[in-house]
Amino acid sequence: MTLEEYKKEFSEDDAVGWLSIDKEFERLYPNQEPKHYAPAISYMLGGESPLDGVSIYDSTKQTEHFHFITYGFSELYYDEQKIEGEFSKWGFELTFRLKPLAEDNGNPTWAVALLQNIAKYVFSSGKWFEEFHYMPANGPIKLESDTDITAIVFVADPEIEKKQTPHGEVSFLQIVGITSAEYNDILENRKTIEEIVDKLKENNPLLITDLARTE
């Protein structure tokens, strides 16, 4: 996209990258208004949360689950300097699929905090994620719970392909919770991340994280 085309299609009030993300989720969830969590103070104004927001959609595919999408790892807003880049900012946004927990009462805010914590790591370290990367949660993925899901791996979201936006490429990386045993298998080179993901996909093709899973 040339600068002239960019200026013709968008105005300075447009959240160009945000609109690109929304288009993908409107395709998956037509006419659904997601729950949206935005930090009280934006990062640019000195807030502690790097992401401008996290939306949560209700999915009934495979089994009922929440489908999260982040806003902020990619370039969200009108910026003539950012067009025709190879990657839009970090080049990805994170998704997450979560089996609902009764105690969350439909508001899994802990998972929003988890996504913001991953963003803090990326923004402070300058290190980004790609498919089949992994990271420990340094304890249960949900704080103060007895879940055995204690680490995450990154995979391509099964329903959203990488996208060319006016600001560059954006991949949709889904985080998937894994157990302590699976994490140790990775650390000790007993299994590759691809092998663990392929095994999970056998009866969970959308890779929905279930905090009750132990095997």
pLDDT of 41-79, one tens digit each?
A: 877 777 788 999 999 999 999 999 999 999 998 988 778
pLDDT value, residue 113: 94
pLDDT of 151-197, one tens digit each?
A: 999 999 999 999 988 888 999 999 999 999 999 999 999 999 999 99
Give the angle 36-115-19 at the CA atoms, nearest 5°. 45
Helices 180-187 and 193-201 pack at an angle, to 10 degrees, of: 150
pLDDT of 101-111, one tens digit each?
A: 999 999 999 99
How far apart (Å, rounded) are the C-alpha atoms in residues 72 and 100?
25
pTM of the model: 0.92
pLDDT of 115-165, one tens digit each?
A: 999 999 999 998 889 999 999 998 999 988 999 999 999 999 999 999 988
Give the angle 107-17-106 at the CA atoms, nearest 5°. 5
Cα distances from 162 to residues 1, 92, 94, 109, in angstroms, run 17, 8, 12, 27
